[in-house]
Chain A
Amino acid sequence: MQTAEEDLRALMLSGLEGDAGAHAALLSALVPLLRSFFRRRVRDAGDNVEDFVQETLIAVHTRRATFERDRPFTPWLYAIARHRLVDHYRRHRINVSLYEIELDVLADNPEAAIRAHIDVERLLGTLTVKQARAIRDTRIDGKSVAEAAAEAGIGESDVKISVHRGLKALAARITGRKS
């Protein structure tokens, strides 16, 4: 996550200097992040995740002047994504608890959210590659077990077992560290 932040920020800074290639690379790199962000939050089947992704990419492009070069990139990105979601709900007068959205993005303290991601990544790094990937796919990126299994090229039960064993190992690590 930390390297992702640094890579994305570097691309953003080059894009702001007028480097079209870096800008295109940045937007492409954002697509999977945004897909997983919206897939986790849009429950209504009528809402198209891809529309949200595209609207966010357009906002990132047209409003890139509002990025402050000395601050981290990811909070800026997710604040825009979150705004697209809130604006959508407002437009369609759908009442959702803003709390849910706030909670996800920790909008008022995005740096803390990033730090939390970094901690999670460090912990996942202590597991086997398969377990870490299964947990990341199903518990963090919000994919279904079937999707995760298909992408990793392993069986669904294998994914479930990896998640289970991985979480158990993490639990042991964390409680062990405390004692």
Chain B
Amino acid sequence: MNTEQLIESLSRDVPRVSPHAVARRIGYGLYGGGIVAAALVVSMLGVRPDLAAALDDFSFWTKVIYTLSVGIVAVVAVGRLARPTPTSLRALWLLAVPVLVLAGICIGELADKPPQEWLALWLGRSWRACPWILLALAMPMLLGLFWAFKQFAPGKMRAAGAAAGLASGAWAAAIYCLHCPESSALFILTWYTLGMVLSMTVGALLGPRLMRW
């Protein structure tokens, strides 16, 4: 096909593109995967029985706010990395804020308790499973984001994959709060963060393969 014919056939179908098309598609991918992850939590793990009481609990909101703030920053990064010429990623330094705030809460928690209870604070009851559950719950959203990227043009595919993995991991952790009975900040800082980092690693490994364009 010569170039003139190509241009003619490409110009036959020129729908209007919304300025928010990229954001909307990322939203669809996350939302679709998030529904699956929430269904998995409810059906396989079960909602924690004391959820209503937990809503008044400081530690519950610590978890939710920590995971959501990481999730929001990561989604912004995903949106930028969807383009061939990413705008500044300096905003990623904002990720330090929730981590440092949570670390501050940990110090208060440790100061409050005698040293022989520290290990129990750190490991809780579910440290072995928690990071892997987060990784598993992140996968539907990560797949959703890879689907979204089919129409994007990421200039840096590995970075885009990592951001997508982190975003999926963080939102998966937020959804997991429906089930997770743990309440120590030290537990969250360690095992939740580890789960998100695992998901980020999977994203970074798969990004260059699945985001190819």
Q: Which residues does A use to contact B, with CB under 8 Å? A: 15-21, 23-24, 27-28, 31, 50, 53-54, 57-59, 61-69, 71, 75-76, 79-80, 83, 87, 107, 110
Contacts and interface: CB of A to CB of B under 8 A. Distances in A.
Contacts of B212: 87
A79 B85 contact: yes
Interface stretch (B5-13, B168-176, B186-194): B5-13
Contacts of B85: 71, 75-76, 79, 107, 110
Interface in B130-168: 151-153, 155
B151 A27 contact: no
Contact of B11 (A23, A31, A68): A23
Contacts of A62: 151
A65 B3 contact: no
B17 interface: yes
B114 to A, nearest CB: 53
B113 interface: no
A16 B84 contact: no
B17 A64 contact: yes
20 contacts: A17-B16, A24-B8, A24-B10, A24-B11, A27-B7, A31-B3, A57-B10, A58-B6, A59-B153, A61-B10, A65-B151, A66-B22, A66-B82, A66-B153, A69-B19, A71-B87, A79-B85, A80-B84, A83-B84, A110-B85
Given A66-B152, A79-B84, A58 B15 contact: no
Contacts of B82: 66
Q: Which secondary structure dominates chain A's binding surface? A: helix
B191 to A, nearest CB: 36
B21 interface: yes
Contacts of A18: 14-17
Contact of A53 (B3, B8, B84): B3
B3 A57 contact: yes
B61 interface: no
Contact of B7 (A28, A79, A87): A28
Interface of B: 1, 3-4, 6-8, 10-12, 14-17, 19, 21-22, 25, 82-85, 87, 151-153, 155, 212-213
B22 A27 contact: no
Contacts of A76: 83-85
Contacts of B22: 65-66
Contacts of B87: 68, 71
A17 B14 CA distance: 9
Contacts of A64: 17
A27 B10 contact: yes
Nearest to A68: B83
Nearest to A16: B17
Nearest to B1: A54
Contacts of B17: 16, 18, 64-65
Contacts of A79: 84-85, 155
Contacts of A21: 11
Contacts of B151: 62-63, 65
A173 to B, nearest CB: 33
Contacts of B15: 18
Contacts of B19: 69
Contacts of B14: 15, 18-20, 23
Given A65-B151, A66-B153, A58 B83 contact: no
Question: Which 5 pairs across A and B sit closest by C-beta, in order of nearness?
Answer: A18-B16, A79-B84, A24-B11, A65-B21, A20-B14
